[in-house]
Amino acid sequence: MNKCCFSWGVVAIIALIVALQATSRFEPVDTQKWGLAEFVNHLHAAGVNVKVIPNRKNGEWEDSVYISENPDASWLSFQVKQRNVESIEQWQGAVWVERLRREGDTEGYVAEWGNHGYQIGRFVVFGDARLVECVLEAFKQ
């Protein structure tokens, strides 16, 4: 056998093994038993550098939070944002995340939001399409 052909064959096999290993690492994350804290921690661990803003004035998270790339964002700054595609310019660099309470709950508007919204397990994300894409990438959706 020609040494050149043998070398290329070994390289091809190694490349295939590396590709298969890389593919297996990109399985979607199972979020079924997660709360918002686990969701946000996963975003941070995946390198999505965002500030978390509670959805309540008293600082509690309840079942939803806002996340923003703006370090100066505050609870008050989100009170004027409307959660609809017609007002999407208000959401530049920010998204809203809600954990649906019951199994089978769905956010009725997700289909209407296009690339500005997505459901990940029992979590619904709405906002800046670029940041929604970053969230989806973190969860391999």
Query: What is the percent of the chain with per-residue pLDDT over 90, rounded to a whole number?
Result: 57
Per-residue pLDDT, averaged over 21-42, amounts to 75
Q: Confirm if 82 and 90 have CB atoms less than 8 A apart.
A: yes
Q: What is the DSSP string of 76-139?
A: HHHTT--SSGGGGGGGTTEEEEEE-SSTT---TTGGGGGGGEEEETTEEEEE-HHHHHHHHHHT
Write out pLDDT tens, residues 36-61.
Answer: 999 999 999 999 999 999 999 999 98
Record the tokens describing residue 46, joined without a space.
């995946």
pLDDT of amino acid 23: 44
First to last CA, the chain: 45
pLDDT of amino acid 121: 86
> What ranges do the domains of the chain cover?
30-138
Asked whether the predicted pLDDT for residue 81 surpasses 90, the reply is yes
